[in-house]
Structure 1
Amino acid sequence: MGRGRHAGYDGQREMIVARAAALFARGGYPGTSMNQVAEACGLSKATLYHYYRDKYALLVSIAEEHVTRLQGIVAEALADEATPAGQMRMLIRRLVEEYANAQNEHRVLTEDVKFLAAADRERILGKEREVVAAFARVVAALRPDLRDAAMSKPLTMLLFGMVNWMFTWMKPDGPLAYDDLAPVVTDLFLGGLQAVQVPLRTATVD
């Protein structure tokens, strides 16, 4: 009988994934070595290889786990909210929350997916497409007239772009938190500028 996983195995593995994602996001997948990952994790290479056989396995894990979490967000929002408007608000709030805590993982998914083998890339991008399609279905439910005009997906991609770009200009220690802006994004997307409500914490962006 093989040895079971020790207590804390999953926590250690999550730490490795998070620190590897930070390295990949900063230096790129090709420019990062397993030596660097081991050092960032405070582990020996032998211990690191106990969790991941090579750098490629880390890349697959980072990208696939991130997009799988996005799938979970979609499933929960659609199950918890009965109306398309409620679903969209929940989807945007949860998307902002996820991206706030997984910017490195998202960068790896978008920039390093090209280094995946064809089968792995297709599987992971297939999951990503399912997430986009789910958002687009909610957009179509909100505006059925847009479905025939093939506008649901373009609007969904504009929404994703709005959320993604938020993390390039927002200051983590600024007067507004991501939680403050999630409803702003929702109001702007659903109702236009006239629908935006000022957050409780008000500030100007430099």
Structure 2
Amino acid sequence: MARTQAADYDDRRRNILIQAANLFAEKGYARTSISELATACNASKSWLYHYYPSKEAILYDIMSYHVTELLECARDCRDEQGSPRDRFRELVRRFMSLYIEAGSQHVILLNDIGCLPEDKQKEIQELQDDVVAIVLELICEVNPALSGNKKFKKPVTMALMGMINWTYTWFDEKGPINEQQFADLAVDLFLNGLMSKEFKG
């Protein structure tokens, strides 16, 4: 007889992902053992394997959940009412909120995708490409002239993504500005340029 799933099966899997993300981000995926992960979950290795067949499967789910959240966020902002500038600003604000709330997952997505087999890498990359495509779509709504200039579409879009994606390397949520203030700063610099910005205390 097949084993019946516990009522909190999904919650337990989600907790495994959270604990694993924190460990992988802190120690590195390759340097984290299943034993260490089981300890972090206050469980045994056999208990862990009941929920995930391998460490690789855990890594894949961490990335999949995170990039899917980003994709859903991008779709929501694209489809909302409001001007292109307002929707674009809201997109960057929500991305920054996700980066702070799921900081470990974001670090792993950026740094450890190469630890997955090629077919799984491709699945994650396709989701990331969908996110970037929506960001480009919103940027082109803000400045329609970009729509007809294939040469600059990717560089412009990735310039914006570069401003916010790597904030985990330096941004301090307890620092002088919060993530929403930084998101607005990034949007202002991206849309209007440095010289248009007045910096006041």
User: TM-score, structure 1 length as denominator?
Assistant: 0.87
Which residue pairs with 1:95 in the alignment? 95
* CA contact 2:93–2:179 (8 Å) conserved in 1: no
User: Is 73-82 or 62-71 further displaced after alignment?
Assistant: 73-82
Q: Which one is further off, 158-167 or 128-137? A: 158-167
Q: CA deviation at 1:166?
A: 2.6
What whole-Å deviation, never above 9, does each CA across 1:14-38 have from its counterpart, x for those lacking one? Answer: 2211111121122222211111111
| Structure 2 gap ranges (5+) | none
Give the Cα–Cα distance (whole angstroms) in 2 for the partners of residues 5 and 189 of structure 1. 49
Unaligned runs of 5+ in 1: none
C-alpha separation between the residues in 2 aligned to 1:66 and 1:18?
A: 11
- Number of the residue aligned with 2:69: 69
Select between 95-104 and 190-199 the one with higher mean Cα deviation: 190-199
1:173 aligns with 2:177: no
Contact 1:93 1:179 in 2 (8 A): yes
Query: What's 1:26 paired with?
Result: 26
Q: 2:126 is paired with a residue of what secondary structure?
A: helix
Structure 2 contact 107–168 (Cα < 8 Å) conserved = no
The equivalent of 1:161 in structure 2 is 162
The alignment of Structure 1 onto Structure 2 pairs a total of residues equal to 200
Aligned to 1:58: 58
TM-score (norm 2): 0.89
* CA distance in structure 2 between the aligned counterparts of 1:78 and 1:185, rounded to whole angstroms: 19
* Equivalent pair of 1:133/1:153 in contact (CA under 8 Å): no
Question: For residues 135 and 27 of structure 1, what CA distance do their matches in structure 2 show?
Answer: 32
| Counterpart contact for 2:88–2:138, Cα < 8 Å | yes
Determine helix, strand or coil for the equivalent of 2:132. Answer: helix
Over the aligned positions, Cα root-mean-square deviation in angstroms equals 2.0
CA, structure 1 residues 8+197, in 2 after alignment: closer, same or farther (shift >3 Å)?
A: farther
Pick closer, same or farther for the CA change 1:37–1:11 going to 2, 3 Å: same
